[in-house]
Structure 1
Amino acid sequence: MSEVTGNARKSITIGDLPNCILHTILEFVPIQDAAKTSVLSKKWMHIWSTLPHIVLDHLFFHYVSKSGASASSIISKILLQHTGVIMGLHLISSTCKLAQSDVDQCIIFVLEHGIQKLTLDMANDENYLLPDKIFTCATLTHLKLSRCFFELLDGTQFPNLISLKLEHSKIAGHRGLEINLYLPMLETLELRFCVDVDSVYLVCPKLDNMSIVSSYTVTFRCFNRNPIFARIKHLCLDGSSLKNLGSLSVPDMLDVSLNLQSLRICDIKISIKRISCALCLLRNSPNLVELDIDEVVKVNETICYADELLDYLSEAVNEVSKALRMIRTVRLRKFKGTSTEMYLIKVLLAHSPKLERMIIEQYKRSNVTYSYQHLNELLSYCRASPNAEIKYT
């Protein structure tokens, strides 16, 4: 690399770059390789030990296992040698396990060094119990936890947390009582395979985005009782969570009006229960304009229920029309062209009077010849909206 000034030419090496750029480069390199750059020059000697984000992922733990060393001892050395501000710590491994005491030591260390982002996703057999200090960390803004256990007292809060993602985790209150968890700055909440989350009363005045995947304790009762569901604008559900919403009953109308602008449904196996739960959400969301269906799965197993589904939808015309009255954009991902998908599209087109765009993204393994046949059939379907366009990609 060179810089030309007049007739002079000055050579610029990578080491001449600002530290912030060098940090960005080294964050894409396994930390054990980043440490080796310390031998390059005096400037490089301390670059790796001042990285603002420490990423200890599967590459690091694979390196540790091959070396025969103790993962916890190496992690301790890395943290002790670190001389700069730690903005992020990410412990990620699907094979390596760390003891509760080792995790506590890591978390407490970074909490005392101004951490903003923390990821804990280790292959432990039992859930980690989070240290109490984590709940009062004023600098923590992004938290992603897997296989963890929250033992909360009423009034617990994360004062500045913006994003919270929990997977295979459990939230429990004190002595089984319903408690308040205050998240005053939270904007994004993701729950994947979590339990007991319905017993926690979340206070999140800024929450906009919520994702629920296979968290079976979330029902329509939660929508009626917890005001966060009346506040969120963007909701993502998988097929199993969608079905479970109506595990007690599927109401015609909820006690509250939802503020949803978009609803995304992932991995949906078409059934009457799932369709009725989706229609309930749509009916109770007067501001919802975008519906995103990310893959209709196991469709071959649902063909035998096609007549039953057809009868249900034909009898529920009013409910369907109410549910789709405001939809402007529909996106169907991983489209395979099955009869179930085609019928679903026909219903959406026929009952969406304000529809502007239906975007159908073909499954990458689909047959091209059949794709043209599907497109021709789709274009022949009746549309409630004269402005509806079909984009087939």
Structure 2
Amino acid sequence: MDRISNLPDSLQNHIVSFLPLKDAIICSVLSKQWSHVCSSLSNLDFIEIGFRVSRECFKSIVDQILSRHDGSDIRKFCLMVSPFEDEFLSLLHVNTWISFALRHNVQELYMFISSNRPEDLLQAVQPQPQIQFPCAMFTCATLTSLTLVASYKKLKFPPDTRFPVLKKMTLWMISFADEYLTNKFFSDFSCPMLNDLFIRYCKIKNITTLNISFSSLKHFSLYENLSHSYKINLSAPNLLEFVYIGMYPPDIISRTFSSLVSATFKGEGNPYDLDDVSNCPRKILQELRNVETLALLGSFIEFLNRDQYFRSSLPTPYHSLKYLQLGMDAYQNQGHELIFLLRNCPNIQRLSITYHPVLLYNLVV
């Protein structure tokens, strides 16, 4: 007996919701009993490359699925498309689909605009067009997770943004230009309940100071692939974890690093490319008073090595530090920095030292 086909519609829909969308569509054509199964899917993943069809056919498939959807809520809506610059797939179509998800109380929204050019994933060489998503997307009262990936296209923010229940936000390869709207976007005014913020390889132009102020923020990751040209004013009194990966140590203005439990800093640039070595690495370490896990990777130690005031500027020892991970350069004399750091970590329990690219020590004390 075919027991699955005789299950209540709600159970069938729940089962099919765990399948990739392609397989869910296949299930809907198995028989008349399954023809309705895609009408109330709570997870909708529209990934253009995954359908392996023409852009026109992809658009038709999305339109048909959404037109047959009933009034049930959508938990997750994912849309991944290549740049929409032709008659088959335009910004109007994309915004229509996003608006549909918003009307169905979407909770997790993932918007990916992929790039046809691999070099765009590293940096935008050519001027990129401006994109304006529906204003309702920036005032959605049901969104708990928002991911935007736009291949360095300039995202136009509306004057007012408000995500009352948003807890996680990931911005990847977004181009910001307006300082006032950008700083307003990264504040409690827009996201009063934000816990996790991930900013990865975004372009921030015409901004001297990036203000990030979230009272409920607990996890913050900032990845950059260009030289740092602006200051970061960070206000997050409940921040527990901070990760920074960039060419050079960031210029951070913060009085909240004392709350950190875990911190990671990785420098990917060459310190000898700079005429003057900044005091940014030293200022960062001065704020990490209560951290339990600390990772200083890439060229970060070498930035400290070139700072003649480093050893005379550290605060009292890091009594809370239990795990220290260091990335060191075998071609530079960084032993003095290593010894100095260890002397300021009296309660360390585990130490990992990597002489790039080989793990040299992984000690448990």
Shorter-chain-normalised TM-score: which range? 0.7 to 0.9
2:99 pairs with 1:99:
no
Which residue of structure 2 lines up, in the alignment, with residue 132 of structure 1? 135
SS of the residue 1:222 aligns to: strand
Flag structure 1 segments of 5+ consecutive residues without an equivalent: 1-9, 247-253, 380-388
CA deviation after TM superposition for structure 1 residue 143, in Å: 0.6
What TM-score does the superposition give when structure 1 sets the normalisation length? 0.69
- Tell me how far apart the structure 1 counterparts of residues 7 and 242 of structure 2 sit (CA, whole Å): 46
CA deviation after TM superposition for structure 1 residue 189, in Å: 1.0
2:5–2:34 Cα contact (<8 Å) kept: no
Please give the residue correspondences for 1:74-153 in structure 2 after superposition, counting only pairs within 5 Å: 74-83=61-70, 84-93=72-81, 98-123=89-114, 126-147=129-150, 149-153=155-159
Which residue of structure 2 lines up, in the alignment, with residue 36 of structure 1? 26
Please give the residue correspondences for 1:248-327 in structure 2 after superposition, counting only pairs within 5 Å: 256-258=255-257, 259-266=259-266, 268-269=268-269, 271=271, 276-293=279-296, 296=298, 310=305, 312=307, 316-320=310-314, 322=316, 324=318, 326-327=320-321
Larger displacement relative to structure 2 (270-279 or 346-355): 270-279
Which residue of structure 2 lines up, in the alignment, with residue 386 of structure 1? none
Any idea what the Cα deviations from partners look like across 1:285-314, whole Å, max 9, x if unmatched?
A: 322221134x637x9xx9xxx7x964646x
The residue type equivalent to 1:282 in the other structure is: L
1:140–1:161 Cα contact (<8 Å) kept: yes
User: CA 1:350–1:286 in structure 2 vs 1: closer, same or farther (change >3 Å)?
Assistant: closer
2:64 pairs with 1:64:
no
2:74–2:106 Cα contact (<8 Å) kept: yes
* Count of aligned pairs between the two proteins: 334
Measured on the aligned residues, the alpha-carbon RMSD in Å equals 4.1
SS of the residue 1:151 aligns to: coil
Any idea what the Cα deviations from partners look like across 1:22-68, whole Å, max 9, x if unmatched?
A: 13431xx2x2332111132444322233221111125435x122xx6
- Which residue among 234, 247, 253 is the counterpart of 2:241? 234
Which residue of structure 1 lines up, in the alignment, with residue 163 of structure 2? 158
What TM-score does the superposition give when structure 2 sets the normalisation length? 0.74
- Tell me how far apart the structure 2 counterparts of residues 175 and 255 of structure 1 sit (CA, whole Å): 20
2:323–2:351 Cα contact (<8 Å) kept: yes
SS of the residue 1:186 aligns to: coil
1:152–1:174 Cα contact (<8 Å) kept: no
1:233–1:260 Cα contact (<8 Å) kept: yes
Which residue of structure 2 lines up, in the alignment, with residue 167 of structure 1? 172
- Tell me how far apart the structure 1 counterparts of residues 138 and 79 of structure 2 sit (CA, whole Å): 19
Structure 1 or 2: more helix by fraction: 1
The residue type equivalent to 1:187 in the other structure is: N
User: CA 1:101–1:178 in structure 2 vs 1: closer, same or farther (change >3 Å)?
Assistant: same
SS of the residue 1:121 aligns to: strand
User: CA 1:291–1:19 in structure 2 vs 1: closer, same or farther (change >3 Å)?
Assistant: farther
The residue type equivalent to 2:140 in the other structure is: C
The residue type equivalent to 1:167 in the other structure is: W
Which residue of structure 1 lines up, in the alignment, with residue 190 of structure 2? 182
- Tell me how far apart the structure 2 counterparts of residues 207 and 278 of structure 1 sit (CA, whole Å): 23
Flag structure 2 segments of 5+ consecutive residues without an equivalent: 116-127
SS of the residue 1:355 aligns to: coil
- Which of the two has higher C-alpha Rg? 1
